[in-house]
Chains A and B, each alone.
Chain A
Amino acid sequence: MIPTSIEEIFLLAAALFVLLAIMMFYRAVAGPTTQDRLLAVNVLGTNTVVILALLAAGLDEPWFLDIALIYALLNFLMAVAISKFTVERGGVL
């Protein structure tokens, strides 16, 4: 399958990004430490943001970008909060 239009390029790239995001599940399941799992989920969230942006351009639905922006915010908040929780467990977080 050779893509001919811009929309097909974005959909094909989104499919490949989904495959790369699925590769992250191995590290998220088999990571030896908590920080390995947290890093894998963080990279997976970044890939999800990119997938949502590519789908917004590929399917011509610009409101996907709102979801991508909220997802990026929650992804960063999750990474900082859990990495703070693993250090001072029982404190503020």
Chain B
Amino acid sequence: MKTNAIFSVKLRPVVLALLLAVTLSSCYSVRIVSRDGEPEKKAVSSDAGFYRDKVAHRQDTTITLNPIQSDFSLVDPVCPYGFYSVEYRVSLGQALLNMITFGKVKKVKIIYVCNKDC
């Protein structure tokens, strides 16, 4: 019993850290896809699933707003013919960060695919 108690005390921070790591990094994502669009294709297939054959661009950044700013737009420099798909990912940790900072610090993780020049 004593050994178990010591063990559990010693393990507690590890378990807590693991739980935090899992819950804060667990995320949900939303992807919108153009029905009639034609994605820009990769020359050599790589990755798994949806992006295997598509040229995927990734935006992974943190936007900090000042007290008088309410929202922002990310200006895309690489898709002259529009988007084929846009996926927005957010983790619990990122949502918490946004909440704690009253919406002033936003971690942005976006994966998008350009339309082919048709």
**A and B assemble together:** no
Binding site for B on A (CB under 8 A): none
